[in-house]
Structure 1
Amino acid sequence: MGQLFSDTSKNEDCGDLESSFTAYFKINTESKIIPQETIDSIELHLTKGNIQEANSVIRDALKNIDNVPITIAVTGESGAGKSSFINALRGVEPEEEGAAEVGVVATTMRRTPYKHPKIQTLTLWDLPGIETVNFLPKDYLEKVNFQEYDFFIIVSATRFTKLELDLAKAIRFMKKNYYFVRTKVDLDLDNEKKCNSHTFDREKTLQQIRSMCVNTFSQNNMDAPQIFLISNSNLSDYDFPVLMDTLVKDLPAQKRHNFMLSLANITEPAIDRKHKSLQQAIWLEACKDALLATVPVVGILRDDVEKLKEKLNHYRVLFGVDDASLEVMAKDSQVPVEQLKKMIKSPYLLETEGKTTLGEKLLKYLERFSSATGGPLATGLYFRKTFYLQFLFLDTVTEDAKVLLRQI
């Protein structure tokens, strides 16, 4: 099954892997899922031929990525759409089991945690509304355990109030990031269109909403931050994709991976972002495996196939092209689920088509893979076939997600 390298070939292969590793992470700058200091440490060990040390750093980095918690606080005044925003981030319908309670009255009287249904390390906290006569930002933040959160999202459905601005000042003073989100802009546009049907200008109305928010800051002697105009019911419209891009860039590298995987498939760039993140995870696993001197095997063993099935199903769930997601999609779009299944390829990857075996599918993919990626991804000849199959699965699932997004 495996074979240890000789000392000479070990150093040669370690050098090849080091140059391949370095080249790969040079082309993944903004979306790195491990910190630069970790990358530098791995490269240093590889340069010196310290295989076990490099393997240990990669193993710890992967473990950290899988286990590091991401904790987001959502606050603002009651009725602003905090709970709806949390449901949207989690990809959960308001009436689904486990959804954040949505209502026209104050439904959140204490801070309430909501786990992401697919990414268990991601928790969104619905904080109590801040509209109270005796509101003191510092006391409020201490009461809701401000130190636990990676950042705060302050949600408003109108102009931002002095209470919300005072809260932002306190958050900044305590060295945490915050983001201002203006919700329900779709309702504002609808109302404006009804009232002024002949003169309605969508972009002009959006600019007026944004200006109204910005003016609140200047009136309170504050520099206006970036304000994200969103609709909780139409995530692909307005600034929601921009908000997600901003959060990804601001998060520490080791927290980006699971946060990116949690994002809904609302745009093709969002799908591509997931693909790049998972590709890095596969690459790191493959490097770790290569450092243990596992050489390619002639065939694909039964145990490999079972593990590959698990990986394929995992990718399908993350990209929303699994059977359960297809059922929901079919119901929402009023399209027969069989019609959706005919559009995609990933459910059938492990099936044989005529005389095409899994190994033959792999060879066809490798030809495309090598010509498309050229350098760093094509040089890892010591990677087991199962890792190349994971790349095949990931590419196929990614394309399936895009096909369904275009259709639906």
Structure 2
Amino acid sequence: LSRIRVAVQTDCKSVTIEIKALQLHHKPLAAGIVKEPLGMDDITLNIAITGESGSGKSTFVNAFRGISDEDEGAAPTGIVETTSEVTPYPHPEYRNVTLWDLPGIGTTKFTADKYLELVGFEKFDFFIIISAARFKENDVKLAQEIQRMKKKFYFVRSKIDNDINAERRKRDFSEERTLTTIREDCIQGVRGLGIKSPQVFLVSSFELHLYDFSLLHETLERELPELKRDALLFATPSFNLEIISKKKEAFKYFSTSTDDQFGFALVKEEINEAVLKNNQPAAAAKITELMMKEKNITLNIAITGESGAGKSTFVNALRGLSDDDEGAAPTGVTETTIEVTPYPHPNYPNVTLWDLPGIGSTKFPADKYLELVGFEKFDLFIIISATRFTENDVKLAQEIQRMKKKFYFVRSKIDNDINAERRKRNFSAERTLTKIREDCVKGLRDLGIESPQVFLVSSFELYLYDLPLLQQTLDRDLPGHKRDALLCAMPNINPEIIRKKKQALKSKVKYWATLSAAGAAVPVPGLSIAVDAAVLVGAVTHYVFAFGLDIPSLKRLSARTGVPYADLRAVIMSPLAAAEITTGLLLKVIVQLGAVAALIAAEEVCRWIPFIGIPIAMGLSFTTTYKILNLILDKLAEDAQRVFERALG
């Protein structure tokens, strides 16, 4: 028990990141949600983060966007210089808000006298100049040049947490006195170098809720034009109650036309609010509400095109089915789709692929096609052709565009083309694919589609060609909550999909652990913690389904690839894969992993969880369960990778 208590008090690199994700989480609004009411398609906010090498610019870029240094899309950080080019980092949800990580001023490549010219200063709305110590002559020269260009700049003294921790060892330590000393020293130094009335903001990128980050936000908000002010608000992490309150008011203001998506926004901010107020029951209730909303998310994908294009086979492949599996869309050499037919995903029935009749058939003429198929219920359209796209395909795309829906061109049966060309003496797969793509693009352009993108796909070999690129494009275009639904329903077509699934599932571990700790009823032998076993069974079952490690999914994969089920089962290591997840099985695994979790926690040296005293963060059940769920998730992701390599590698 004492060992676990030590673990809880010292665990934190990953726990801190995830608790912050809970406190700062604000993934609510996909770019398109806020854009329409605010006209934000035309509003960009470009923030330059600059300063000398080693000042913590990249970590600040990540923190400002609400992500950790280890997250996907994070600016790379390290003890050596990691920023060597001007690099844009769009906000993960508000793509028009971009933080630009600029190379350190005064490096060989970016000399101080030509710095602004080299980084392209004109595109930035304002500059944040960061230093981890006193500001230097180069920082001040840069500020003066920015001022001369009639742009705004702000001095940020970073890594304040390091200074506080260093001073804390002294007998007469006073945090307030330390902060005052640092601030006055920075101001005096900047003033001595020629800046009149400087303002310096003291910030810790790991603890945005402390020190001057809120004051920096208020200053930016006050000095930005109104529309850019709104963009800043939505993109700012929810680091205190005031920010949460402002966001909630904004969400309510715009929610009249986008209730569903803003509903997610409001619930997530209410979770943040409950955490900041130390209200564990309220946080648990709101997390339950959020999870119910996520469980009920629908994603409706229309698969259309002319007869014989391979639509039904594509519908089956995306759902992880062979054409002869139970529940598969019927396929054949004659037209098999004569009605609008829904095909729910076998593991995620709220994700539905709709097999639409061929456009231009007698019953579904091109001029009335969208009306007849009921276009309004679909989130997006995939237009498939097995040859060149036709005039009917283009008319359909233009009509979909007019209805403000998304569409994507897929050139199917690429395996047939490759096999046909393979017989030629000078065969080159790369040259063949380029020729097919260019031919399709030219045909679409000639028929009136500007800058078309065409995805080359084989429904029998999803892991080849452009399906991963199509998935990335859909991922970028869909609202956040529908994006996760698509990701979980996607077959494991490559290691990147498995990695993305793992990351998406990890982002929810804090919620599952909170619910388990809040409803703790079942004591775990030997660990001195209690858990809500039903909550954990639900979480782990979700992981197994998402990775395709349930028995039906593995058998379908076996049938589709020809690899015996026993061979797939042989590479699986976790007792939770290819098994029925029961309370008894899960508790056995938890007992086995509990000691490992404690040891991992005890060996990690890092900051303690922010907001000390929050019951959600401090509970022994929460912290241990959090770590155990992460370990289970890691093991299942490794199994998914091994199964992928055995089946398709």
Name the TM-score, length of structure 2 as normaliser: 0.53
More helix by share: 1
Q: Could you give the per-residue CA deviations for residues 150-170 of structure 1, whole angstroms, max 9, x where no partner exists?
A: 111101101110110010000
State how far apart, in whole Å, the 2-side matches of 1:16 and 1:181 are. Answer: 39
Q: Could you give the per-residue CA deviations for residues 378-406 of structure 1, whole angstroms, max 9, x where no partner exists?
A: 99442164443332222111100101212
Instruction: Note if 1:229 corresponds to 2:456.
Output: yes
Letter matched to residue 243 of structure 1: L
Give the C-alpha shift of residue 250 in structure 1.
1.6
Residues 91-240 of structure 1 correspond to what in structure 2 (within 5 A)? Answer: 91-132=320-361, 137=366, 139-194=368-423, 196=424, 198-240=425-467
Give the C-alpha shift of residue 279 in structure 1.
1.8
State how far apart, in whole Å, the 1-side matches of 2:609 and 2:347 are. Answer: 28
Q: Which moved more, 1:199-208 or 1:86-95?
A: 199-208
Letter matched to residue 229 of structure 1: L
State how far apart, in whole Å, the 2-side matches of 1:40 and 1:295 are. Answer: 28
Q: Is the 8 A contact 2:351 2:486 kept in 1?
A: yes
SS of the aligned residue for 1:180 comes to strand
Q: Is the 8 A contact 2:516 2:531 kept in 1?
A: no
Q: Is the 8 A contact 1:20 1:377 kept in 2?
A: no
Instruction: Note if 1:399 corresponds to 2:638.
Output: yes
State how far apart, in whole Å, the 1-side matches of 2:618 and 2:521 are. Answer: 8
* CA-based RMSD: 3.8
Q: Is the 8 A contact 1:18 1:46 kept in 2?
A: no
The 3 A distance-change label for structure 1 pair 357 and 169 is closer
Give the C-alpha shift of residue 185 in structure 1.
1.1
Instruction: Note if 1:341 corresponds to 2:382.
Output: no
Give the C-alpha shift of residue 311 in structure 1.
4.8
Q: Is the 8 A contact 2:320 2:556 kept in 1?
A: no
Residue 128 (structure 2) aligns with: none
Letter matched to residue 103 of structure 1: G
Q: Is the 8 A contact 1:18 1:43 kept in 2?
A: no
Instruction: Note if 1:82 corresponds to 2:311.
Output: yes
Instruction: Note if 1:70 corresponds to 2:302.
Output: no
Q: Which moved more, 1:220-229 or 1:169-178?
A: 220-229
SS of the aligned residue for 2:301 comes to strand
Letter matched to residue 125 of structure 1: W
Name which of 297, 317, 320 aligns with 2:548: 320
Identity over aligned pairs, percent: 34
Instruction: Note if 1:361 corresponds to 2:593.
Output: yes
State how far apart, in whole Å, the 1-side matches of 2:576 and 2:627 are. Answer: 17
Name the TM-score, length of structure 1 as normaliser: 0.81
Q: Which moved more, 1:369-378 or 1:245-254?
A: 369-378
Letter matched to residue 166 of structure 1: K
Letter matched to residue 550 of structure 2: D
Letter matched to residue 307 of structure 2: S
The 3 A distance-change label for structure 1 pair 340 and 76 is closer
Name which of 245, 269, 275 aligns with 2:496: 269
Q: Is the 8 A contact 2:512 2:539 kept in 1?
A: no
The 3 A distance-change label for structure 1 pair 256 and 136 is same
State how far apart, in whole Å, the 2-side matches of 1:234 and 1:282 are. Answer: 33
Q: Could you give the per-residue CA deviations for residues 65-123 of structure 1, whole angstroms, max 9, x where no partner exists?
A: 10111111111001001000000011111011110011111111110110110101111
The 3 A distance-change label for structure 1 pair 62 and 334 is closer
Letter matched to residue 223 of structure 1: E
Q: Which moved more, 1:334-343 or 1:370-379?
A: 370-379
Give the C-alpha shift of residue 275 in structure 1.
1.3
State how far apart, in whole Å, the 2-side matches of 1:120 and 1:381 are. Answer: 37
Letter matched to residue 179 of structure 1: Y
Q: Is the 8 A contact 2:321 2:556 kept in 1?
A: no
Give the C-alpha shift of residue 63 in structure 1.
1.0
State how far apart, in whole Å, the 2-side matches of 1:189 and 1:266 are. Answer: 19
Unaligned stretches of 5+ residues in structure 1? 1-14
Letter matched to residue 569 of structure 2: K
Q: Which protein is bigger by CA-based radius of gyration?
A: 2
Q: Which moved more, 1:106-115 or 1:321-330?
A: 321-330
State how far apart, in whole Å, the 1-side matches of 2:307 and 2:604 are. Answer: 51
The 3 A distance-change label for structure 1 pair 365 and 232 is same
Q: Which moved more, 1:298-307 or 1:102-111?
A: 298-307
Give the C-alpha shift of residue 256 in structure 1.
2.2
Name which of 67, 70, 86 aligns with 1:26: 67
Q: Which moved more, 1:141-150 or 1:385-394?
A: 385-394
Residue 282 (structure 1) aligns with: 509
Q: Is the 8 A contact 2:519 2:532 kept in 1?
A: no
By relative contact order (CA 8 Å, sep 6+), the higher-ranking structure is: 1
SS of the aligned residue for 2:407 comes to strand
Letter matched to residue 401 of structure 2: R
Letter matched to residue 264 of structure 1: P
State how far apart, in whole Å, the 1-side matches of 2:319 and 2:475 are. Answer: 16
State how far apart, in whole Å, the 1-side matches of 2:382 and 2:634 are. Answer: 33
Give the C-alpha shift of residue 220 in structure 1.
1.9
SS of the aligned residue for 1:119 comes to coil
The 3 A distance-change label for structure 1 pair 397 and 303 is same
Unaligned stretches of 5+ residues in structure 2? 1-15, 26-65, 74-91, 94-260
State how far apart, in whole Å, the 1-side matches of 2:280 and 2:523 are. Answer: 21
